[in-house]
């Protein structure tokens, strides 16, 4: 579908990961005008080039989604290009350290929590003023069952996802009067992204090996979610 001046403008963070790339490709195919972010400029620009070659309108915005300064600059660049922003898909994040919480370096644990929380909150914080002014918008934060349940030995990931869920709940209520909707979406256990890392990276510790075994068994037993289903959601 060819984008038009009335096509929605979508900001997608974490665009070069497994789910992020699938989202970018589908959004582009559906005619959205797309801003994509990632921390790796070369990979980001390669993705943007592939999408543009199909006729998509895409703006590569190299930045760390957890950096408020970089995220603000990226958002302003997208708004300057298209005059508005209709939706944010906050997909960026990290897995964090793996192991019993008390055995993990506290700095590593907190760094993962901080990164994942800011990857959602910093981006939402910078897009919301634009959405409030235009009296419309939608925010989708890619979440996890670990955020409302638990994930032993991946506590930093679990805690950060729980915090992001609660943040989105508050935004959903605060921004409702401005015709802005906010959601947390658990895409399911996908055979890509963090699962790929778990299945392909040599396990650094027995805890990494246990995580890999769990992911492999869940997918083998049919408890995974096809990527296309998560993207459609």
Q: Compute the distance between CA of residue 103 and CA of residue 156 in angstroms, rounded to an integer.
A: 12
The residue ranges of DSSP E strands in the chain, in sequence order, are: 9-12, 33-38, 57-62, 87-90, 137-142, 180-185
Q: Compute the distance between CA of residue 15 and CA of residue 62 in angstroms, rounded to an integer.
A: 10
Q: Compute the distance between CA of residue 85 and CA of residue 180 in angstroms, rounded to an integer.
A: 12
Q: Compute the distance between CA of residue 111 and CA of residue 94 in angstroms, rounded to an integer.
A: 10
| Cβ 138 vs Cβ 180: under 8 Å | yes
Nearest to 161 by CA among 186, 126, 179: 186
Catalytic residue among 157, 207, 212, 230: 157
Nearest to 113 by CA among 97, 99, 102: 97
> Does 157 participate in catalysis according to the annotation?
yes
Give catalytic residues, as residue numbers: 157
């Amino acid at each position: 579908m060819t984008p038009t001046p009335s096509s929605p403008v979508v900001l997608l963070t974490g665009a070069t990961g497994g789910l992020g790339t699938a989202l970018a490709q589908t959004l582009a195919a559906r005619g959205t005008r797309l801003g994509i972010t990632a921390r790796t400029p070369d990979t980001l620009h390669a993705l943007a080039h592939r999408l543009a070659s199909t006729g998509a309108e895409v703006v590569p915005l190299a930045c760390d989604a957890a950096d408020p300064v970089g995220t603000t600059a990226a958002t302003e660049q997208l708004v300057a290009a298209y005059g508005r922003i209709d939706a944010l898909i906050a997909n960026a994040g990290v897995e964090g350290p793996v192991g019993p919480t008390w055995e993990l370096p506290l700095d590593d644990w907190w760094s993962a929590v901080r990164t994942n929380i800011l990857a959602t909150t910093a981006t939402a914080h910078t897009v919301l003023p634009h959405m409030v002014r235009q009296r419309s918008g939608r925010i989708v934060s890619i979440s996890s069952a670990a955020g409302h349940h638990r994930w032993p030995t991946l506590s930093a990931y679990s805690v950060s996802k729980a915090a992001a869920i609660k943040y989105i709940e508050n935004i959903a209520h605060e921004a409702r009067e401005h015709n802005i909707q906010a959601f947390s979406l658990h895409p399911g256990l996908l055979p890509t992204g963090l699962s790929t890392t778990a299945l392909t990276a040599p396990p650094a510790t027995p805890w990494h090996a246990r995580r890999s075994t769990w992911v492999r068994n869940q997918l083998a037993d049919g408890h995974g979610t096809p990527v296309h289903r998560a993207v459609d959601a």
